[in-house]
Amino acid sequence: MKRCDLVGWLDKTLCNGDFKEEAVNGLQVEGDDEVELLAIAVDACQATIDAAVAAGAQMLLVHHGLFWGRCEPLVGTHGKRVKKMMQNGLSLYASHLPLDAHPELGNNAELARLLSVHDRQPFGDYHGMTIGFAGSIAPLSPAELGQKLKAMFGAPPMILPFGPDPIERVALVSGGGWSLMEETRDSGFDALISGEGLHQCYLVAEDGGLNVFFAGHYATETLGVRAVARAVEGKFGLPWTFLSHPTQM
């Protein structure tokens, strides 16, 4: 399909214009006019760029792109990445906050679906934008919810089990959602499920009486790009391939 048609559909579907942030959302590098294979990954880096080229893809769709709101010289590692794409006709499309917040295709919407969250509502203020979701689940102990997340992502989450048991109301903010711990507690939720945290998160959870689950920044953000790729395939019949490059974080 035409690159411009795919980009237009992605821009409209992901509502890029609704988000004001440092990340450049949308087409970051322009490659071939025709896209016959879509590669997807969490991060744009040398490994995923090389893998996309090796797979014969014409576009790489990622959550974390290469451009973050400032003019960055194309030298060193940054220049090498862009050069490889330009030399091989590989386009780069990035969707950061729009892919966290999307109500159907986003990281947090997918996490809510996989956890069978009901009575879902928007949650999580990030510089005036709501990027996560919250709602109710069937009652689970912290250990049981941890096992469920392990089954989903293939590795046990870090658990800070300082809140109510059983857990019935959860807030979901993929990636680095640790800063929303206090909002989670103050909003009356039993647990926050996110990707990664900082040292002080332990003390905030302990002193605040909150359950927190860190299931991996990378792992929790594999969900959205997969959902978008499935939607693209369903609408346009465009094949796609997921490029796994876990960071262990």
- 72 lies in the same domain as 57: yes
Q: Judge if 135 and 181 occupy the same domain.
A: yes
Q: Does residue 43 fall inside a structural domain?
A: yes
Whether the predicted pLDDT of 22 surpasses 90: no
Indicate if the pLDDT at residue 20 is higher than 90.
no
What is the CATH classification number for the domain harbouring 179? 3.40.1390.30
* Assigned domain for 243 exists: no
208: three-class secondary structure by DSSP:
helix
- pLDDT of 175 reads 96
Residues 80 and 136 in one domain: no
Amino acid at 87: Q
Domain-located, residue 225: no
Q: Is residue 248 part of a domain?
A: no
* pLDDT (0 to 100) of residue 194: 98
Amino acid (1-letter code) at residue 81: R
* 90, 117: one domain: no
Instruction: Specify whether 154 is located in the same domain as 135.
Output: yes
How far is CA 161 from its chain centroid? 24
pLDDT at 231 over 90: yes
Asked, for residue 231, whether it belongs to a domain, the answer is no
Asked if residue 118 has pLDDT above 90, the reply is: yes
Convert the pLDDT of each residue in 59-75 to its tens digit: 999 999 999 988 889 99
Instruction: Confirm whether 78 is domain-assigned.
Output: yes
User: Does some domain include residue 229?
Assistant: no
pLDDT digits (tens, 9 = 90+) for 188-201: 999 999 999 999 99
The answer to the question of residue 51 being in a domain is yes
My answer on whether 82 and 107 are in the same domain is no
pLDDT of residue 71: 82
pTM, two decimals, is: 0.96
191 in the same domain as 128: yes
- For residues 82 and 27, what is the distance between their CA atoms, to the nearest angstrom? 13
- The domain boundary, picked from 37, 60, 95, lies at 95
pLDDT mean across residues, the chain: 97
C-alpha 71/C-alpha 69 separation (Å) is 7
pLDDT at 23: 93
- What is the maximum span of the chain, computed from C-alpha positions, in angstroms? 55
* Residues 172 and 105 reside in one and the same domain: yes
Specify the DSSP class assigned to residue 151.
H
Give the HSE-up count for residue 244: Cα atoms under 13 Å, Cβ half-sphere: 3
User: What range does the domain containing 78 cover?
Assistant: 3-95
Total number of domains in the chain: 2
What local confidence, expressed as pLDDT, does residue 104 receive?
Answer: 97
34 lies in the same domain as 16: yes
